[in-house]
Amino acid sequence: MKYLRRLLNFAVSVLLIGVCGQTGCTPQQPLYLTEKGKYQQHYIGKATKIDYPDVEVCSLPEVTRTIPPLTLANPDPSSIWDIKLEEAVQMALKNSKVIRTLNGVGFSKSGVSGTPGLLLQSPNAVGTVYDPALIESDPRAGQEAALAAYDGQLTASANWLKESTANWNGFQTYGIRKDEANFNTSIRKYASTGGQYYVTNGNQYTGTAPVQWQSYLEGGFTQPLFQGNGIQFNRIAGPGATPGNYNGVVIARINTDTALVDFEMNTRNLVASVETAYWNLYYAYHRLESVRSGLDAAYQTWLQTKIKSDFGAVGGSAQYLAQAEHNYFTFRQQTEIAQSNLFKTEDALRYIMGLTATDGRLIRPIDDPIIAPIKLDWHSTVCEGLIRSPELRKQKWSVKRYELELIAAKNFLLPQVDMNAAYRFSGAGKDLIDSNNRHNNAYGSMIYDDYSGWTVGLSAAVPFGWRKELAGVRNAQLMLAKSREILREQELELSHQLADSFRDIDLSYQQIQTTLAGRRAANDEVFAVGAAYEAGKITLDQLLDAQKRQAEAETDYYSAVVDYNLAIMTLHYRKGSLLEYDNVCLTEGAWSPKAYFDAKRRARERDAGHYLNYGFTRPQNVSRGTYRQFQGTDMLSFDGTAVPMTASAAQPQYSSQPAGQQVVPPAPKLIETQPIPTPVLPKETLMHIQPTRNNRYVDAN
């Protein structure tokens, strides 16, 4: 038997060693005697997978109804849409619940680059028309949230207790029965002075004769005398504030005012983007016309050279023919690029206006750009910029916020001394309410038998050291000093920006005069060089170079005109008058009829009431009144003297006639030609559009 036991132990040991050798450290599945083999039906092979959200949002018609875009292969629009700048701005504002930007799009003399991408990349960084309302309705920091702290709070509770317990007195077991009920109701409300008022009613049922019901009605208040006292402090900090944590009505109102300034700046940026795209589209049309004119001239030169080559005349050598052909293809390449850039610039204007990418029409500007000299007064412009710049106004709201927070922080340096008082009416009886016997019920005895009492007291709490409170005051002082210094530096930066705008306006206007003279000279050069070439006095390359310079001079002139108008727009942008310059005014939309009904009722209540003078607790002013968006009144200069808000400050004055003679000479008429017999794109794919003398566009056909 002993040997059999040893043999069995040896076999078990060998089996365990074999199992351990096979498994090692790898995880093993458990072994079940009755496995059905259906576990894989409930097995999920992935912990995370990409799902599609169950959201139904109707797409804009501008997205679903778009057609293939205009390209070099598809260049023919169904119609030309002539549009004014005012109409473009109006349409952009109408279609901008989400305020679009041209972030990612770059305009230059050579064309447009990039596409808008901010909305897809960072949708939360884009402003919307909902932002001011979102800030005001914020349940944590909005004005309604701050006012809600002063709403009355009703609390009520009802509890019933019925139990029977056993007890032992040393001799026998006896039972204790309880039959109790409690009904309590309380109303509490914070006052604008920092105090808290309450009214409480309590009812208790004991089930023990002869007194079964006990009731009381108590009213009282707690009023801070030093720390937390005063209307001004509570308007800034709100009830229950702590150092550094302020959410009063005034702070919430400043948050709303800041959101309104942000909305104004977003709207201003939208208008600036519309004007930028509009004038760049104007330039794109004229650039296309300039290179197209050069293309026609290059084709005519090649055609004449080809005829001379065919007849073996002078000027028809293979060298001249190759030069003319290369010049033609150079202009053709520039024309194709210019036409594609025109389509891209028109698409940028469509995007900022909130239109579909392509609807068959081709937008072209018909407003005349400003080419007259602008007269500006430097001191009036700087003074207006300091008053009207929305960036400075936003920072001033920040300064006002920290000024108020410093007042609240200093209040926490006062000792916390609270006065409390209460008055209570008590009653008891067999019943809670009995109309037949007013003395035998709890409510009757409480009202008629005058079982009352009162209490008055003071409570104080003073910390040792005031570390947290002193740190709060110091932090508020530093934040106020920082915000004031930022405001001063912002004003300095604004003055430099205005100076830069003055230089840009002056430079771009001088460039208009210079490029105009160069344009005339280039036209005269082409005429003279063409005559000399026909007379055989010069070579063909001189004629081709003159034609290139003519096209470049034409492009440079219109580039200077656009730069001049954009420089004027930038000046208004920086000094805060762009919305007025484009006749845009921000105002709140109509409310619901119920809101007007409630407002009238509140106004009648105030009219029928009596004014309560708060005396020394009356809070100081926070705002200086409504900001005038269209400022036509006088303002003060730096030395405090009155300076009339003339058109030189609010609206720049333009002379009736620009310096020099005719600024925009008539463009040469386009010549309909056929492409040279080489494998190139058909010439009919290029647009035939030219500007007229008054800078408007017409179809050349």
Mean pLDDT confidence for 320-336: 89
Q: How do strand 361-365 and strand 79-83 relate by DSSP bridges?
A: parallel
- Give φ, ψ of 485 to 5 degrees: -65, -40
On whether the CB atoms of residues 116 and 105 are closer than 8 A, the answer is yes
Between residues 658 and 211, the one the model is more confident about:
211
271 closest CA partner among 385, 101, 109, 118: 101
Whether residue 308 is predicted with pLDDT greater than 70 in this model: the reply is yes
pLDDT value at residue 407? 93
On whether the CB atoms of residues 352 and 102 are closer than 8 A, the answer is yes
Copy the structure tokens of residue 193. 């002075």
**Banded model confidence at residue 184, pLDDT cuts 50, 70, 90:** very high
Looking at CATH, the fold of the domain delimited by 79-132+258-396+481-699 is given as Outer membrane efflux proteins (OEP) (1.20.1600)
Copy the structure tokens of residue 643. 């300076």
Q: Which amino acid is at 118?
A: L
Mean pLDDT confidence for 454-477: 92
Alpha helices in 440-466 (DSSP H): 442-448
Alpha helices in 176-219 (DSSP H): none
Copy the structure tokens of residue 417. 């001394």
**Banded model confidence at residue 686, pLDDT cuts 50, 70, 90:** very low
Percentage of the chain lying above the pLDDT 70 cut: 81
d(CA 455, CA 457): 7
d(CA 468, CA 646): 53
Neighbours of 310 (CB within 10 A): 10
Alpha helices in 578-659 (DSSP H): 578-581, 593-608
Q: What is the pLDDT of residues 537-582, one digit of tens each?
A: 887 788 888 888 888 898 999 999 999 999 999 999 999 999 998 8
DSSP run (H or E) holding 678:
none
d(CA 306, CA 318): 9
Whether residue 383 is predicted with pLDDT greater than 70 in this model: the reply is yes
Whether residue 669 is predicted with pLDDT greater than 70 in this model: the reply is no
Q: Which amino acid is at 254?
A: I
**Banded model confidence at residue 192, pLDDT cuts 50, 70, 90:** confident
Sign of CA dihedral 32, 38, 41, 46: positive
Mean pLDDT confidence for 435-459: 82
What is the per-residue DSSP string for 330-363? HHHHHHHHHHHHHHHHHHHHHHHHT--S-SSEEE
Annotate 30-89 with three-state secondary structure: CCCCCCCCCHHHHCCCCCCCCCCCCCCCCCCHHHHCCCCCCCCCCCCCCEEEEECHHHHH
DSSP run (H or E) holding 401:
helix 390-411
On whether the CB atoms of residues 119 and 126 are closer than 8 A, the answer is yes
Report in angstroms the alpha-carbon separations of 569 from 106, 173, 269, 566.
17, 99, 11, 5
Whether residue 693 is predicted with pLDDT greater than 60 in this model: the reply is no
On whether the CB atoms of residues 380 and 648 are closer than 8 A, the answer is yes
Whether residue 690 is predicted with pLDDT greater than 90 in this model: the reply is no
Q: Which amino acid is at 174?
A: Y
Helix/strand/coil for 197: strand
Whether residue 373 is predicted with pLDDT greater than 60 in this model: the reply is yes
On whether the CB atoms of residues 132 and 260 are closer than 8 A, the answer is yes
Whether residue 154 is predicted with pLDDT greater than 70 in this model: the reply is yes
Whether residue 332 is predicted with pLDDT greater than 80 in this model: the reply is yes
- Give φ, ψ of 450 to 5 degrees: 60, 50
pLDDT value at residue 171? 74
pLDDT value at residue 640? 41
**Residues whose CB is less than 8 angstroms from the CB of residue 121 and which lie 6 or more positions away in sequence, other chains included:** none
pTM: 0.79
Whether residue 655 is predicted with pLDDT greater than 50 in this model: the reply is no
Mean predicted lDDT score pLDDT of the chain: 81
Whether residue 642 is predicted with pLDDT greater than 80 in this model: the reply is no
Whether residue 365 is predicted with pLDDT greater than 60 in this model: the reply is yes
Buried/exposed code over 650-678 (b: 16+ C-beta within 10 A; e: otherwise): bebeeeeebeeeebbeebeebeeeebbee
Q: How do strand 196-205 and strand 213-224 relate by DSSP bridges?
A: antiparallel
Lowest-confidence segment of 91-100, 227-236, 582-591, 629-638 by average pLDDT? 629-638
d(CA 575, CA 608): 46
Mean pLDDT confidence for 365-378: 91
For the chain, domain boundaries: 79-132+258-396+481-699, 153-190+195-228+416-461
